[in-house]
Amino acid sequence: MNSVIKTFKDTYKRFIVWRMRHVSDRVFLLALSVVVGILAGLAAVVLKTLVHVTNRWLLQFNIPTFVGGNLLILLYPAIGILLTILFVRYVVKGNIGHGLPSVLLSLSRKGGVLPARNMYSSLVASTLTVAFGGSVGLEAPIASTGSAIGSNVGRFFRLSAHDVKMLLGCGAAGAIAGIFKAPIAGVLFVIEVFMFDMTATAILPLMLSAVSASTVAYFLMGNDLQFAFRVVGEVGLSQIPYYIVLGVFCAAVSIYFLRITDKVEEWFARRRNQATRAVIGSIALGLLIFLFPPLFGEGYSFLTELLNGSDELLFDHSVFAAFKDNNWIVLAYILILILTKAVATATTIGCGGVGGTFGPSLIIGGMAGYFLCMLSNQIGLPEQSTANFALVGMAAVMTGVMHAPFMAIFLIAEITGGYALMVPLLVASSVTYLCVSPFEKHSIYARKLAEKGDLMTHDKDRSAWQLMDMRKLIETNFVIVREEDKLRDLVEAIKYSKRNVFPVLSDDDKFLGVILLDDVRHIMFQPEHYDDTAVIDLMHPISEGDIVRISDPPNEVVNKFRIGNRYNLIVIDDQGYYLGFLSRANTFSAYRRFVSEVSEE
């Protein structure tokens, strides 16, 4: 065994040396982007297949109750949550969560480095959760898995931090492209959600990875798309106002989804005991799914039925099946599904399940479009296509929730096999984005990172100042003097100092002021004043513009350098204790290095 390991290590080292000598970094990156795309596509196929097969097997069993419904649906989510919690606790031994926020944090703060365990943890945990009915999506976990694959492949072959990040993006693009067989949507997902710059350097490896993953998905799963639907008929100009209204309605739905998921997850987070969270969440989730079976699992089968113009499947095994012929009750039922899907998604995640909000936003959007169109038709307005409205609603809500309008538009265009709905998609998504943006500045994945100042955006200049760790730039090699010291002590300090600034501190290290060498040069050579001149009387006048607190935003620190034209700023903590100095030269030098590292070109 030892000899095999030694042989592998020797071969690996020889390959790395050979590659560095004979294959350029650019060519090698493009080759690895294909490899990463294939692996991400395989992961997507495995995940979708496992969940689909398990769902079908579980739902074939039915124990009816006296009020209708399926009693087993009450139990399945609890089993999935329990298995997921056991897997995370005893196998992963760490937190998984949504997955994508940790990927965004890795891009911003960790040079694209993701743990090797992330290549399987989200994959397995989300399978256990969704296969047993957890009301979450698989897209975010598979994108997280693909990102981890790309990150670890890049690190294995000793690529630069820039190229590791690029392969991380390739993994995510491949995962989304593979799960939907939509390569353009996969690329746009990385550009809009991961905030990669749309440059020639980035587009080619992302596209190679997305196309590779889609090819793998087509080869293993056939030509069927996630939604086997083709748009019928043309959209006239007279219909545009209806899609504007749809955009406004989807904006309201998006804001509701974002707010309610936050509230529910925060409520579960306040329950410190994991067993308590699991029991409460499993019971609540089971009851929701028992009352409203379309909340079971991803819910794509129900959405497909809506796209085909039928709402019969919504009432399958439902306690409300007797009312399915009343259109007004059907409308009320769909509206309740829109409202409860968000609750079920947040409950699944909050109580210990693993999954994402990508899929639920699609489901809710489809139901929102179907609901609005059915309501319009019901009250006697000119007849509209419920399928078209459902498809456009999917893109609009995804735009509002994920702040990724182009990805949402092209995803719907690709999975419907054409661009017949391009104008309605553009209109509704634009309206939704414009309505949501004043209330929600960031996507569901990025909002918490943005609050903490850990988010990399397309504005690299602003991101540089936001993400730079100012603590690492603090200089502490200044000789301090105390408030009770005399000129003699200051002269002694000057003798051993290499700086011309001397911070004055109190006995308990509170910052009082500074003494500049130029201010005392005239008196420091007068020994007769050494013992009768207090250093506190020699302090240089300073203002609030000379001081920064460690909690101040980096942008505020930069503004003090720029506006005041200062060369050094004094750094104190929030209690007024002295920490050191920030140098203008070092700060702007660090900024230039940061921008160089994150630049795509």
**CATH code of the domain covering residue 484:** 3.10.580.10
Q: In what order do the strands lie in the sheet with 547-549?
A: 547-549, 568-572, 578-583
Which of 28-32, 116-120, 195-199, 460-464 shows the lowest per-residue confidence on average (mean pLDDT)? 460-464
Range of the domain at 128: 23-221
Rounded CA gap, 144 and 135, in Å?
18
Evaluate whether residue 486 is within a structural domain. Answer: yes
| End position of a domain, from candidates 406, 435, 458 | 458
Angle, alpha carbons 195-196-198 (nearest 5°): 120
Count up the domains in the chain and report the number: 3
Mean of pLDDT values over 507-518: 86
Residues 133 and 242 in one domain: no
Give pLDDT, residue 420. 78
Structure tokens at 23: 């294959």
Six token digits for residue 179: 């799960």
115 CB-contact burial (10 Å; exposed 0-12 / middle 13-18 / buried 19+): middle
pLDDT at residue number 596: 62
Same-domain check for residues 287 and 352: yes
Q: Looking at 430, 458, 486, which one is the last position of a domain?
A: 458
CA dihedral for 222, 225, 228, 230, sign (positive or negative): negative
Between residues 349 and 467, the one the model is more confident about: 349
Percent share of the chain, pLDDT over 90: 33
| pLDDT 10s digits, 6-22 | 787 878 888 888 888 88
Cα–Cα distance between 498 and 139 in angstroms, integer? 57
User: φ and ψ at 70, to 5 degrees?
Assistant: -120, 115
> Each residue of 176-194: pLDDT tens digit?
999 998 899 999 999 988 8
Q: Does residue 229 lie within any of the structural domains?
A: no
**In this structure, are 563 and 539 located in the same domain?**
yes
3-state secondary structure 257-273: HHHHHHHHHHHHHCCCC
Cβ atoms of 369 and 384 closer than 8 Å: no
Domain boundary among 428, 458, 488: 458
Residue 281 structure tokens: 């969440």
- Tell me what the pLDDT averaged over the chain comes to: 84
Give tens-digit pLDDT for 137-161.
888 899 999 999 999 999 999 898 8
Residues 6+ away with beta carbon under 8 Å from 556: 548
Q: How confident is the model over 262-269, as a mean pLDDT?
A: 90
Residue 254 lies in a domain: yes
pLDDT beyond 50 at 601: no
Residues 444 and 476 in one domain: no
pLDDT of residue 308: 79
For 438, counting Cβ atoms within 10 Å of its Cβ (0-12 exposed, 13-18 middle, 19+ buried), the class is exposed
pLDDT at 82: 93
pLDDT at position 55 is 82
Q: What is the pTM of this model?
A: 0.81
Give which of 363, 391, 393, 397 is closest to 130, Cα–Cα: 363
Question: What span, in angstroms and rounded, lies between the C-alpha atoms of 11 and 421?
Answer: 53
In a domain, 18, yes or no: no
Q: Is the pLDDT of residue 491 over 60?
A: yes
**Which of these ranges, 135-144, 264-273, 441-450, has the smallest mean pLDDT?**
441-450
Q: Are residues 175 and 253 in the same domain?
A: no
Q: Is residue 132 a part of any domain in this protein?
A: yes
pLDDT at position 250 is 96
205 and 342 in a single domain? The answer is no
Record the tokens describing residue 515, joined without a space: 């003494």
The tokens describing 432, both together, are 């939704």
pLDDT confidence of residue 237: 76
Mean pLDDT value across residues 299-322: 78
What does the pLDDT average to over 38-51?
91
Q: Are 369 and 390 in contact (CB under 8 A)?
A: yes
* Residue 171 and residue 147 in contact, taking contact as beta carbons nearer than 8 Å: yes
Q: Over 90: is that where the pLDDT of 431 sits?
A: yes
Please give the torsion angle defined by the CA atoms of residues 11, 13, 17 and 23, in that order, rounded to the nearest 10 degrees.
Answer: 60
Question: How many angstroms separate the CA atoms of 290 and 70, rounded?
Answer: 7
Residue 161 belongs to some domain of the structure:
yes
Q: What is the mean pLDDT of residues 191-198?
A: 82
| Cα(158)–Cα(103) distance, integer angstroms | 20
Q: Do 280 and 264 contact (CB within 8 A), yes or no?
A: no
Distance separating alpha carbons of residues 77 and 85, to the nearest angstrom = 12
| DSSP H helical ranges for 469-568 | 487-496, 517-520, 554-564
3-state secondary structure of 354: coil
Please determine, for residue 247, whether its predicted confidence score (pLDDT) is greater than 90: yes
How much is the pLDDT for 173? 95
Looking at the structure, tell me whether residues 421 and 498 fall in a common domain. Answer: no
| pLDDT of 466 | 58
CATH number for the domain spanning 320: value is 1.10.3080.10
- Rounded CA-CA distance 314/34 in Å is 40
Confidence check: pLDDT of 556 > 90: no
What sign results for the dihedral spanned by CA atoms 20, 21, 25, 31? negative
Q: What pLDDT was estimated at residue 335?
A: 94
Do 276 and 202 lie in one domain? The reply is: no
The answer to whether position 546 is within a domain reads: yes
User: What whole-number distance in Å separates Cα of residue 139 and Cα of residue 2?
Assistant: 40
pLDDT classification of 380: cutoffs 50, 70, 90: confident
Residue 243 inside a domain? The answer is: yes
298, 47 in Cβ contact below 8 A?
no
What's the rounded mean pLDDT across residues 424-430? Answer: 94
pLDDT value at position 600? 47
Instruction: Note whether 452 and 471 are same-domain residues.
Output: no
Query: Strands 501-505, 578-583: parallel, antiparallel or unpaired by DSSP?
Result: unpaired
Q: State the Rg of the chain over Cα.
A: 30
Angle (deg, nearest 10), helices 422-436 and 386-402: 40
> Are residues 182 and 204 located together in one domain of the fold?
yes
In contact, 413 and 446? CB cutoff 8 Å: no
Instruction: Dump strand ranges (E) for 242-391.
Output: none
545: pLDDT strictly greater than 50? yes
d(CA 40, CA 419): 27
Same domain, 309 and 160: no
- 469 and 454 together in one domain: no
